[in-house]
Amino acid sequence: MTRLRCSVPSLLHRASAPSLALAAAAADAAQGAPAAVPQSAAAASAGGFFQVLLGLIAVLALLAAIAWLLKRFNLSRIAGNAPVKIVGGVSVGNRERVVVVEVADQWIVVGVAPGQVNALSTLPRPENAPSAPTEPQQAGDNFAGWLKQKIDKRNAE
């Protein structure tokens, strides 16, 4: 086995060689000499960062546009001819609800809790119950009609 012998000054000289090269590069940069490698690496990494950032912004904008379209055209509730319709509901606790569901001219009273749905009662559809609209209404039609009635009522007084 051979032993390597190094003196402390030679270790310091070897350790300080890279730091001397960095100091010389810094001195050249201070005097106006271009340092080609660090600038091009920084520019490349900045360009890559901005490209990733631009892609992220584009994807988020696309998701926001899709969500807006779904909300605007009420595409989440296109179920005009669905066999099951929710007639109404009331909250009876923090996470519990009682819901009335219409299925084939029958009303089913359902208790809904986290992880649980129980049929409470079954009733025939009442004769005086409002019928389902034949054509789907736009999202703002119901509010617009209500507001018109309120304004007309207020003007009549």
Confidence of residue 150 (pLDDT cuts 50, 70, 90): confident
pLDDT digits (tens, 9 = 90+) for 26-68: 556 556 545 445 566 666 788 889 999 999 999 999 999 999 8
Q: Would you list the domain boundaries of the chain?
A: 9-71, 80-125
CA distance 105 to 124: 7
Instruction: Report the C-alpha dihedral over residues 90, 91, 92, 96, rounded to 10 degrees.
Output: 120
pLDDT at residue 130 is higher than 80: no
H or E stretch including 97? strand 97-103
Reference 133, options 123, 145, 119; nearest CA is 145
The two structure tokens encoding residue 135? 């054509």
Confidence of residue 136 (pLDDT cuts 50, 70, 90): very low
Top pLDDT among 107 and 130 is at 107
